Amino acid sequence: DMRHAVAPAEDVENNSFAVTSLLKICTHCERLSKKDLGVRIPRPLGNGPSRFIPEKEILQVSKVDARTQSIFEDAFAALGRLDNISLVMGFHPQYLESFLRTQHYLLQMDGPLSLHYRHYIGIMAAARHQCSYLVNQHVENFLHFGGDPKWLNGLGEAPQKLQQLGELNKILAHRPWLLTKEHIERLLKAEEHSWSLAELIHAVVLLTHYHSLASFTFGCGIMPEIHCEGGHTFRPPSLSQYCVCDIANGNGHANHHDDPFGNEMCGEVEVLMERMKQLQECRDDEEASQEEMATRFEREKTESMLVVTAEDEECVPPRDISRHFEDPSYGYKDFSRRGEHVPTFRVQDYSWEDHGFSLVNRLYPDVGQMLDEKFQMAYNLTYNTMATHKDVDTSMLRRAIWNYIHCMFGIRYDDYDYGEINQLLDRSFKIYIKTMVCSPEKTTKRMYESFWRQFQHSEKVHVNLLLMEARMQAELLYALRAITRYMT
């Protein structure tokens, strides 16, 4: 089982552990500890790191996988705690390692921006989606690194330089195709409030990182850690809660695979595998003309605009600091309803591999390399399984998911047949993807459960990694293209 090194005594107050299972407590245990200590003991509000995935499955990972265990231990040693995002990503240790390395570099290592600025930009980015989980994390770190608490009352209280980033933040989060070199110029030529190119690249990487991490956080139903706001209660537990003393009895969540409606889904995986096989045969047989390929892309792009996110229910306004950063007039849904046209961005004119990567590396050394490894890791990650089937080549499916997300952003790969997307991604999956990428704050447990019902939770987390990285790369492509146009 996981051994937790204890942080030095003086850090313990700030660094309560996040593995909520270690802090679950039944009424009997609670009485005993109260008698001993005379203290009120907080209880976690949720069962484990995710609202969607049974806690047992998440904690099992570190027990069976030595690599995950050692990554968790390193992360714990560096941060003094293990956050729930890392616990859920632990299903995919190779990816988690790359993710943590990149995030640590962006937030802690030498770079153009001061530490409190980095966390303030994290707050700005996460607040676009009212992601209180990430907002609260950054508020804590912003204050820890000497940030001025007044800035937390809203962007209007922050320095002019950060206020000017607000427009870029909004456009990148919701309509990145509207970004122009004029937006970049306004930031770089603002007299005493100007950004340098290196600072701007650092800010852009942070904004896109946290927009897409908000997608992951909502897409996997990540819960706040027990020491965070919204992560605990002092009310006595109800009978349905279970304590660390009976985890061994396997109490807790029912698995979402034991679905009463599961019968009708029977064969879902086999149908998908059969489609992949047929598409592969068609690929080998016939090649569509360039015109036909372009038409298929435009059709898929237009259709993706019409996919409705999450029953379009209105969101509850956030209680946390996000509300000070909101500009509710600017979001994804408004323009898709108005039928605003998304122009086509052709990857052969500006790609991450040939253009974006070298620009980032030049202005913020090593970061281009780290992002590239992280993109590759998410895109190429495979265990050659689909649900219970082994030795499956899933590259066609992974490519369809990645390209569908880029298609929603207007990004086109000339050599890809967009007709494959409709064969491989069904409607419930498309609704989940669209919600996750465009309005992640609306993701519900029902949506998570309604796609790929016969697949493992680890496979759904893998889908979330693909969505997160594809979204980040799409936003980055638009931002870096605008910067390149400004520079040339």
Q: What is residue 412's three-state secondary structure?
A: strand
For 153, half-sphere exposure in the C-beta direction (CA atoms, 13 angstrom radius) is 7
Non-local (6+) Cβ contacts of 417 within 8 A are 283, 288, 293, 296
Active site residues: 131
Measuring CA to CA, which residue among 378, 395, 383, 438 is closest to residue 102? Answer: 378
Q: How remote is the C-alpha of 71 from its chain's centroid? A: 19
User: In degrees rounded to 5, what are phi and psi of residue 87?
Assistant: -60, -40
For 456, half-sphere exposure in the C-beta direction (CA atoms, 13 angstrom radius) is 13
Write the DSSP string, 228-289. Answer: STTSEE-SPPPTT---GGGGGGT-SPPPTTS-TTGGGGTTHHHHHHHHHHHHHHHHHH----
Ramachandran assignment for 233, one of left (phi > 0), alpha (psi -120 to 50 degrees), beta (any other) = beta
Task: Please name every residue paired with 411 in a beta bridge, in sequence order, or none if there are none.
Answer: 345
Ramachandran assignment for 130, one of left (phi > 0), alpha (psi -120 to 50 degrees), beta (any other) = left
Task: Please name every residue paired with 188 in a beta bridge, in sequence order, or none if there are none.
Answer: none
Say which residue the tokens 């030795």 belong to. 391
For the chain, what's the residue count?
488
Q: Checking DSSP bridges between strand 345-346 and strand 411-412, what pairing results, if any?
A: parallel
Cβ–Cβ under 8 Å, residues 440 and 179: no
Task: Please name every residue paired with 44 in a beta bridge, in sequence order, or none if there are none.
Answer: 232
Alpha helices in 425-456 (DSSP H): 427-438, 445-450
What does the alpha-carbon distance between residue 315 and residue 334 come to, in Å, rounded to a whole number?
A: 14
What does the alpha-carbon distance between residue 472 and residue 42 come to, in Å, rounded to a whole number?
A: 36
Say which residue the tokens 């493992």 belong to. 456
> Between the CA of residue 108 and those of 105, 131, 141, 401, what are the distances in Å?
5, 22, 11, 32
Task: Please name every residue paired with 429 in a beta bridge, in sequence order, or none if there are none.
Answer: none
What does the alpha-carbon distance between residue 103 and residue 105 come to, in Å, rounded to a whole number?
A: 5
What does the alpha-carbon distance between residue 155 and residue 166 come to, in Å, rounded to a whole number?
A: 8
